């Protein structure tokens, strides 16, 4: 309600920001993965909650999808000893890939029981459509009758529900899938590092590669990867990241092979060379000139 306060990570996914904007009460951001900043904002939120009689909701991601970093869930849960709040975790990239049983970033960090509302999607490790929320019965009952966006929406189609249940069963009973996934992830990430690529601070399957170049160069580069090397990956450029940087984001899967990894590493060597020797700059310039004509 308008009496409640939300405190969320400044680098939270766009869907979280859109949701937070619907909140009628106060909301604060804390610096990305900065526990000291979170604590300062919790102190502000606590003073406000004492006046309004409302509650506090802290929001973090289990895995931040752009950089692959895990949210500092263990440290956030520890703050419950000092502050009264509920913790909401969006674990889209952690569910199915992290933790002993694949239960996600909370299990990986040993604090799953400290998460009050756990959200994940069927669109990542389950390769489907839809999502789920897990929480105590009291919270779920409240959401069922108050979650406006869902009350007036159609339920998930039955074939998707059956498919999700089957995939969940596979995650639980086929640990070899996650084991193979991490064999591929480790081979790709260690291979990129050995070849001098900057993959940032990833702690998950999400594998970012940072290169220097302009937006037109990035477009020429990603087309070259797709058309001539058979590799599809998404690119991120300004204004999401600073000007002059190109972020190529890869997410390996359990069905990739070590041969796929080798081909990817070789392709990345080739595109880096073309980026550095100006090939992509010339390609983008000639395309711009042709469009002008």
Q: Quick one: pLDDT at residue 10?
A: 96
CATH code for the structural domain at 5-172 = 3.40.640.10
Q: Which fold has domain 175-292?
A: 3.90.1150
The pLDDT, as a whole number, for residue 287 is 66
Terminal alpha carbon distance of the chain? 57
Q: What is the pLDDT of residue 151?
A: 82
pLDDT computed for residue 289 by the predictor: 61
Residues of the chain with pLDDT under 70: 287-293
Q: What are the CA-CA distances from residue 38 to residues 35, 44, 94, 112 (Å)?
A: 5, 10, 22, 20
Residue 199: phi and psi, rounded to 5, are -110, 15
Q: With helix as H, strand as E and coil as C, how does 118-164 read?
A: EEEECCCCCCCCCEEEEECHHHHHHHHHHCHHHHCCCCCCHHHHHHH
Element containing residue 58 per DSSP (H, E): strand 56-61
Please give the pLDDT value at position 241: 85
Residue boundaries of the structural domains of the chain? 5-172, 175-292
Dihedral (CA of 266, 267, 269, 273) sign: positive
According to DSSP, residue 69 is labeled P
Q: How far from chain centre, in Å, is Cα 47?
A: 32
Between CA 74 and CA 98 the distance in angstroms is: 15
> Matching CATH topology for 5-172 and 175-292?
no
Query: At which residue do the structure tokens 């970093």 appear?
Result: 69
Q: Per the structure block, which two tokens stand in for 121? A: 């999607």
């Amino acid at each position: 309600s308008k009496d409640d306060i939300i405190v969320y990570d400044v680098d939270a996914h766009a869907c979280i920001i859109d949701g937070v904007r619907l909140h009628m009460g106060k909301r604060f951001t804390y610096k990305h993965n900065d526990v000291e900043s979170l604590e300062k904002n919790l102190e502000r939120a606590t003073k406000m909650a004492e006046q309004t009689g409302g509650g506090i909701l802290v929001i973090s991601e289990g895995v931040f999808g752009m950089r692959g970093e895990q949210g500092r869930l263990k440290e956030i849960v520890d703050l419950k000893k000092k502050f009264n709040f509920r913790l909401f975790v969006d674990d889209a990239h952690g569910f199915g890939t992290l933790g002993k049983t694949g239960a996600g970033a909370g299990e990986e960090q040993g604090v799953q029981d400290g998460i009050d509302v756990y959200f994940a999607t069927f669109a990542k490790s389950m390769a489907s459509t839809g999502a789920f929320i897990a929480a105590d019965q009291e919270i779920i009952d409240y959401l069922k009758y108050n979650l406006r966006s869902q009350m007036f929406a159609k339920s998930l189609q039955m074939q998707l529900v059956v498919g999700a249940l089957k995939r969940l069963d596979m995650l639980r009973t086929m640990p070899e899938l996650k084991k193979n996934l991490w064999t591929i992830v480790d081979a790709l990430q260690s291979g990129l590092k050995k070849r001098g690529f900057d993959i940032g601070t990833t702690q998950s399957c999400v594998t970012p590669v940072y290169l220097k170049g302009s937006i037109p160069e990035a477009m020429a580069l990603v087309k070259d990867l797709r058309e001539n090397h058979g590799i599809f990956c998404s690119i991120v450029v300004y204004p999401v990241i600073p000007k002059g940087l190109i972020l190529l984001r890869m997410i390996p899967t359990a069905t990739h092979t070590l041969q796929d990894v080798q081909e990817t590493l070789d392709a990345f060597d080739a595109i880096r060379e073309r980026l550095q020797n100006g090939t992509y700059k010339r390609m983008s310039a000639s395309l711009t000139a042709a469009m002008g004509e």
